[in-house]
Structure 1
Amino acid sequence: MTITSTSLFFDRAASRLNTLSGRTQTIQDQISSGKKLTAPSDDAVGYQRLQSIARGTADDVAWGKNITLARTVLDQADTTLDSVTNQLQKAQELVIQASSGTLSDGNRAVIATQLRGIVDDLVSLANSKDSRGGPLFGAASGDTAVTRDALGVVSFTGTGDPVSIPVGEGIAIQPSESAERLFGGLASGGGTTDVFALLSTLATALAAGGSPGAAAGDALNGVKASLDQVSNARGSIGARGARLDLESARLDATALTRESERSSIEDTNLATAIVELQKTSTILQATQSSLAKLSSLSLFDYLR
């Protein structure tokens, strides 16, 4: 009976030593790697949560890239619209000059040439490309914002608004405005027209000589209306940029929260781990010492 009990004691002691040795090695590995969780078996619930955090982080990285893209396109649109505003203001000054009855036909011809140059510049600005190589002011469809035929008539390409860029779950930002909203939709004779047509019509009338008549008044009203549309568009673009800033701040805050949670699950707390290692090592050494002393006793000592 005593021999059996002694054998059981030594088996249990050996098992205890193996457990303590394994625990010591595990803590040492956690300290050296900085990770306390490396496999699902370490903590099944924690490992599942880490996978969820990783997926959320990957999604937010994608949202962050889209936010950067949307902000880039918005900045491009605003910068380009600043140039559009300058051209329309020049056109407005020329139209006012053209309305003067004291101009000679030569003066009117010069203004006509300048107006045609402004139309060319506006067409070029309307067809600007964004950072992706697509039309900056394009509609939902079409490879360009506007087209121009052999007679110089400008037409809008495609319909609808520019395609929005998703920047969050259920959140999308329209990065620019369509050329038709900026330059078209101008009231004229019970219908609508665009600033290209109005300026071109005035330029033709001026080149023909004599008073431009109603063409000057129509062009002036159209340029003013187009300036208002561009100003409204820039205000909207600014508001969308502010929304992107909010989304970016939200992503940053979420990233900090996720990183804190990830670290609490996965990373080793060095201070705690070192204390745990010291404690486990002390118990291991004490157990080894006790077992060594017991092992040195003779069978007769056990039988006393």
Structure 2
Amino acid sequence: MRVSTSQMFDRPLSLMTQLTAQADKAQTQIATTKKIDGAADSPTAWLRLQGLARAGADDTAYGANIKLAQGILAQSDGTLDSVQSQLTRAKELTLEASNGTLTDENRLAIAEELDSIRDSLFGLANTKDVRGQPLFGSATGDTAYAKAPDGTISFVGAGDPAKIPVGDGDAIQPSIGGAQAFAAGSSDMFAVLAHLSAALKAGGDISQASADAITGVDASLDSVAAARASVGARAARLDLSADQLVDAGEARESERSGLEDTDIPTAITQLQKTLTVLQATQASFSKLSSLSLFDYLN
């Protein structure tokens, strides 16, 4: 079999080209610490990496939503705690008002403090959350409670507060609607305090009014306590969701690293082997190319 001169040169040249490309690729993988630079390197792995990146971006958004919801729930709980304190004081005053030995001046003073508590509760009920939305509002409107010209305070709007997405197909309502938090049967805390204050200012026998007020304030306290329990349950659920995001992120990062990151020690070893073969091939080619046609034929 005759071997042409071109074949003798083409084969080592082709091998050196391949070895040089392999060495360049290994050096790039070591320098960038990435073994996949594009879809051509591994179409299957590249597609999976794109999916992992999208999932990571989604979870980043969900994580931000969870923090937002946690902040709103914490604000809700703190505000409801203040409401409980105000209602507890209102109950103390209601019990005091039921004392038949009080003077008209004493009753008037209690009525004025009850009015002050009612105003404070009105302010608390209209607290804005970190987004500037009503903390105890509904699905519509920018105010939770409104005060009519006659002093009547009522919940406005309709529907439950909007939910915040915290996962794929998962959303949570980060606050409590005012109707749920402050309602007490057929009335609410604002009506309860207003009726007792009016009875105290009117004078006369207030035994029935004070008894009704005690029942109403107790019901309001129960409503607020139930609202706080609901807030606490949602906060616990968000803590679990946050932990699940962390676990999913760690698993995703482990998979990404296995697909994309360069195994530096292995890559260095492979590069050294490739360079050794390349150097040997270059040396052989150098010797071959130095031969004249006369030397080759003889």
Aligned-partner Cα distance in 1 for 2:167–2:215: 41
Counterparts of 1:176-215 in structure 2, within 5 Å, are 176-186=175-185, 192-215=186-209
Q: Tell me, what secondary structure is at the counterpart of 1:166?
A: strand
Question: Residue 213 of structure 1: CA displacement?
Answer: 3.3
Shift of 1:272: 0.9
Paired AA for residue 230 in structure 1: V
Report the AA paired with residue 89 of structure 2: K
Q: Name the structure 2 match of 1:297.
A: 291
| Alpha-carbon distance in structure 2 between the residues aligned to 1:303 and 1:139 | 97
1:271 match: secondary structure:
helix
CA shift for structure 1 position 159: 2.3
The Cα offsets for residues 130-182 of structure 1, whole Å up to 9 and x where unpaired, read as 00000000022221111001111011111232111110111111111111112
Q: Which of the residues 218, 230, 233 maps onto 2:212?
A: 218
Tell me the equivalent position of 2:2: 2
CA contact (8 A) 1:105 1:210 kept: no
Moved more, 224-233 or 38-47: 38-47
Q: Point out the more displaced range, 37-46 or 200-209.
A: 37-46
Instruction: Please give the alpha-carbon distance, in whole angstroms, between the structure 2 residues aligned to 1:160 and 1:184.
Output: 15
CA–CA distance in structure 1, aligned partners of residues 175 and 3 of structure 2: 89
- Deviation per CA, 1:28-87, whole angstroms, max 9, x where unpaired? 111112222112212211111111111100100110010000000000000000000000
Aligned length: 298
Q: CA deviation at 1:100?
A: 0.8
1:148 aligns to what? Answer: 147
- In the aligned structure 2, how far is the partner of 1:276 from the partner of 1:221? 82
What is the distance in 1 between the residues matched to 2:49 and 2:100? 78
Question: Which of the numbers 215, 234, 242 marks the counterpart of 1:240?
Answer: 234
SS at 1:147 equivalent: strand
TM-score by length of 1: 0.95
Q: Does 1:119 align with 2:113?
A: no
Conserved? CA contact 2:20–2:278, under 8 Å? yes
SS in 1 for 2:35: coil
1:18 to partner: Cα distance: 0.5
Which residue number corresponds to residue 265 of structure 2? 271
C-alpha contact 1:198 1:215 (8 A) present in aligned 2: no
Q: CA deviation at 1:296?
A: 2.4
Query: Which whole-Å CA distance do the structure 2 matches of 1:201 and 1:212 have between them?
Result: 11
Answer whether contact 2:115 2:194 (CA < 8 A) is retained. yes
Deviations, residues 259-293 of structure 1 (Å, cap 9, x unaligned) = 11112222211111100100000000111111112
Pairing 1:35-54 to 2, within 5 Å after superposition: 35-54=34-53
Q: Which amino acid aligns with 1:37?
A: I
Q: In structure 1, how many angstroms separate the alpha carbons of the residues matched to 2:129 and 2:164?
A: 13
Moved more, 89-98 or 291-300: 291-300
The one-letter code of the counterpart of 1:172 is A
Q: Which runs of 4+ in 1 moved over 4 A?
A: none
- Taking the aligned partners of 1:82 and 1:126, their CA distance within structure 2 comes to 12
Aligned-pair identity (%) = 52
Conserved? CA contact 2:183–2:223, under 8 Å: no
Shift of 1:2: 3.4
Give 2:101's aligned amino acid: T
Structure 1 unpaired stretches of 5+ = 187-191
The residue that corresponds to 1:61 in the other structure is: 60
Measured in 1, the distance between the counterparts of 2:31 and 2:159 equals 59
1:81 aligns with 2:80: yes
Amino acid at match of 1:251: L
**Structure 2 equivalent of residue 189 of structure 1:** none
Q: CA deviation at 1:297?
A: 2.6
Secondary structure of the residue aligned to 1:167 is: strand
Please state how far the C-alpha of 1:3 moved relative to its aligned partner.
5.2
Amino acid in the other structure paired with 1:135: P
